[in-house]
Structure 1
Amino acid sequence: MEGLTDFSENHTFHNPELLLKLVKFGDLIEIQDKLRRPHNNNWVLFIRDDFVLHLIEEDFSDKVKFSVDKFTDIFNFSESPCRVNNLGKLATVNNAKLRNMSDEMIHDLTQVEKFDLRYPKHPSQRRQMLMSVVKYDKPLWSSVDEEDAERRQSVEDYFCDLNPWGYQHYEDVAKVAVPGDLIEIKRSSGFYRHWAVYVGDGDCIHVGERTIWNYKIVRENLAQICAFEKYLDMCRVNNLEEWVERKGVKAKKRSDVVAMAESFLGHMFEFHLFRNNCEHFATYCKFGDPISRQVERKTELFDVIVFDFTQFQAEDKHIPRGGGKVS
């Protein structure tokens, strides 16, 4: 589509009615601010049939949410000159790779309750950043000061951990999973995930059965786990390769991962949302160190609003760092 190339390269804004006839799935569209203030431009991602992925922003707040709506329901054609801007130069400079976008991926994003964005400072940069991370494997925005450049890596780390895509039906995951893999399972609400250690024959060991006071480490079939009302039937193998690479952490041998998980079978698990959750258990078996990226995401940069944390109360006890059983 030569028209697309022209729109991107000449950096001029065009009538959206014409542009929407030429764009294709996954194109980023930059909409010019009514007062032509670049720092307040809007950004959307084109899906099809005039539908776009965009951000709903709360008044007097940094909270935003992804939504899919018709372009004409959001913007006025006569007041919204726009252009295709796929951020090609920024992507090249930052070695960003295109995602394999799909309808399911877009749907996943719209299910996130809210993002509480505190950074970058300019509204257009925030919109550009969130839309770019849908298209690419890292967030892209034009830095305007040294502070932006210094914080960029932290933002990239956040989105690397946040990656919501790549989930499959549990039957497909069970066909490719290998004993010692970590399995990340979608919950029916929010961005909080359940974690388990795959041990073979379609079975996982995880923080499962709940007693009057606490939880127990159990072995269950992946299908049985996903049938639980709090979970969906979508999951993925996630051995945290990107996190391991960034942090320099080494995983145990697969046989040792399975043996560690099996050593906890039948033991009580004193759950604590922030200090001793299902992800802590799975990563302890995998790496020998209990970490939870879901907890670490609550950073100075962002706060992903998942659910009301106050509903959980538990004793402040941990998986023993030096090995042993969960008491």
Structure 2
Amino acid sequence: MLDSLALLLEKAFLLAHFDIFSVLPCGEKKETQAHDEVETERLLQKLQRGDLLEVPRTLFIHFGIYLGDGKVAHLIPDILPALTGDASRVQRVVSNTRLLLGVLNKRAAVRVDSLQDFAYGSPVLLNSMDGAVGTRPLAGEEVALRAEKLIGSIPYSLLWNNCEHFVTYCRYGTAISLQTDKFCEFLKSILRDQRSMLVATLLGVCFIIYLGLSPCTALPTFLILFTLWMAG
């Protein structure tokens, strides 16, 4: 059952999270890998222990803390630690399927990976949150020690305990997520839009007509409409 679900999820998100090396000719693969290795070496020369790293993903930004020696600590959703105690399997690079199932099951781990595995082919930004958070970063060694103390399995929440909360706690002493704040502001803008109320009303009426006017269908519908009306 789990394998079937994993296969379906992997196919559903293949276009959003595909591996570029799987579609490149052999020559281009080598050129791309060589380019990535050069960029990684250049970046390693700039990095210091405790730096905050971020890489863009398709739908979000992923964050980590540099520990030195080419290693990065980052919080990432992962279902595999809940299914097996085989450390060799768990330590492999987290696949998209493992990540998605981890999100659905609210399981994650603070793990240490190489800089190249952490970046996953994306450009790496360095300490770009220092001016946005409004709090001075802690000393680099303290930041790294905080990250190292949290290594291991932890509960996960897409909005309230994600990779950004992890790095901001380590670097600034306060767990916050600017991505979560932006998402909540987006939801507020939708609730404040009167058109949302009209659409919800139309859907509620259709829902009641389709299922029939009974307390178990009408009451939740009216409560949702009342909440949207008060929020707007």
> Structure 2-normalised TM-score?
0.49
Higher relative helix content: 2
Q: Which has the higher contact order (CA 8 A, sep 6+)?
A: 2
> Structure 1-normalised TM-score?
0.36
Higher relative strand content: 1
